[in-house]
C-alpha cells in the first residue's frame, strides 16, 4: 500500500469510528419541530493541494457515518479556491459533496467571487447554475431561501465581485427583510461576519473581514424576534456571540485543523426557539 493510500485509509477509518459528542447528548425529538444541520465554512479546496481534497472527502465520510438524520449541510463560502482555468475545482467540489446523504446549500465567499485568472474561472452565474438552481429553493438575484420543518434558511450573498471585503446590496437587504416579515424562525447564512469579534485594531483588516454595511444590516434585520441565528465565516476564527436576541456564530475555518486530520465544523440543532450547537471535528 502506498504512503498516500495508507494515509487515506487511516483517515477514513478514524472518521468512521469516532463518535461525536452530539449523538451522545441529543435525545430524539419530533422532526416536525426540529432542524438539524452542519455548518462547514472556508474549506478552500484547492486542486494544487491534495490534502485539501482529502479533507473534503474525509468530511463527507464522517458526516455520512455519524450524522445520519441531518436536514442539511450548509457551506459558508470560500468553498473552493477558484484559481484554476475553467471550472475544474468547482466540478470536483460538486462531485464530492454530492455524496453527502442530505441536501447541501451553499453561499459564495470572496474566493468564488474573485476568480483567478479573472474572466476565466467560475463566476456568479456559473456558481448559481451549479449550486443554487435546485428544486425547492426560492431564488432572488444572488440570494436564496428554503423552508423546512417550519424554519427558513436564507442564503445571503455578501460578496463584492473581485474583492475580499463584502456588503449586502439593497436587493439582498430587501430579500432578507421580506423573508423575516413572514414571521417564521429564520437562519441567515452568509460569508462575511457582522462584527469585529476578534478585536482587530487595523482598519484595513476590519474593512476586509467585517460586513461593510453591518450597522445597516443589524438595524434592519436584527430587530426581528424570529431571526434565531446567523452563520458566517471568512476570518477562520471561531466565535459565538449575541446581537440583540439573535445568536451570532462564526465557525472556525475548515481549512484550519486543530491537529492532524481534525477539521472543524459546527453541528446545530434547532428546537422551537432553542439552539443547541457545538464545534465538532472530523477526528
**What does the domain layout of the chain look like in residue ranges?**
35-281
Output the pLDDT for position 33. Answer: 81
The structure's pTM equals: 0.88
93-137, pLDDT tens digit by residue?
A: 999 999 999 999 999 999 999 988 877 778 899 999 999 987 789
CB neighbourhood size of 273 (10 A): 10
**Using the 8-state DSSP alphabet, how is residue 188 labeled?**
E
Low-confidence ranges of the chain (pLDDT < 50): 1-7, 9-31
15-28, pLDDT tens digit by residue?
A: 444 433 333 333 44
Taking a C-beta distance cutoff of 8 angstroms, is the pair 189, 76 a contact? yes
Output the pLDDT for position 135. Answer: 79
Output the pLDDT for position 121. Answer: 78
Taking a C-beta distance cutoff of 8 angstroms, is the pair 251, 39 a contact? yes
Output the pLDDT for position 259. Answer: 86
Taking a C-beta distance cutoff of 8 angstroms, is the pair 242, 4 a contact? no
Q: What is the CATH code for 35-281?
A: 3.60.21.10
| Cell representation of residue 271 | 428546537
Amino acid at each position: 500500500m502506498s504512503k498516500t493510500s495508507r494515509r487515506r485509509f487511516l483517515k477514513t477509518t478514524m472518521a468512521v469510528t469516532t463518535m461525536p459528542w452530539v449523538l451522545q447528548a441529543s435525545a430524539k425529538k419530533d422532526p416536525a419541530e426540529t432542524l438539524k444541520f452542519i455548518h462547514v465554512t472556508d474549506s478552500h479546496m484547492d486542486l494544487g493541494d491534495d490534502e485539501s481534497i482529502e479533507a473534503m472527502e474525509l468530511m463527507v465520510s464522517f458526516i455520512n457515518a455519524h450524522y445520519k438524520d441531518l436536514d442539511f449541510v450548509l457551506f459558508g463560502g470560500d468553498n473552493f479556491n477558484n484559481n484554476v482555468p475553467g471550472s475544474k475545482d468547482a466540478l470536483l467540489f460538486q462531485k464530492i459533496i454530492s455524496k453527502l446523504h442530505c441536501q447541501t446549500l451553499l453561499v459564495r465567499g470572496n474566493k468564488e467571487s474573485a476568480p483567478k485568472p479573472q474572466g476565466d474561472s467560475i463566476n456568479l452565474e456559473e456558481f448559481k447554475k451549479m449550486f443554487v438552481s435546485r428544486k425547492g429553493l426560492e431564488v432572488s438575484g444572488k440570494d436564496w431561501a428554503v423552508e423546512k420543518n417550519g424554519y427558513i434558511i436564507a442564503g445571503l450573498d455578501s460578496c463584492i465581485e473581485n474583492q475580499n471585503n463584502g456588503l449586502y446590496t439593497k436587493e439582498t437587504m430587501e430579500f432578507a427583510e421580506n423573508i423575516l416579515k413572514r414571521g417564521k424562525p429564520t437562519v441567515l447564512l452568509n460569508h462575511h461576519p457582522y462584527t469585529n469579534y476578534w478585536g482587530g485594531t487595523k482598519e484595513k483588516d476590519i474593512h476586509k473581514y467585517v460586513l461593510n454595511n453591518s450597522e445597516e444590516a443589524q438595524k434592519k434585520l436584527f430587530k426581528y424576534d424570529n431571526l434565531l441565528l446567523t452563520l458566517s465565516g471568512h476570518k477562520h476564527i471561531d466565535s459565538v456571540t449575541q446581537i440583540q436576541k439573535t445568536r451570532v456564530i462564526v465557525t472556525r475555518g475548515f481549512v484550519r485543523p486543530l491537529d492532524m486530520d481534525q477539521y472543524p465544523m459546527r453541528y446545530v440543532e434547532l428546537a422551537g426557539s432553542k439552539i443547541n450547537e457545538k464545534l465538532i471535528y472530523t477526528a
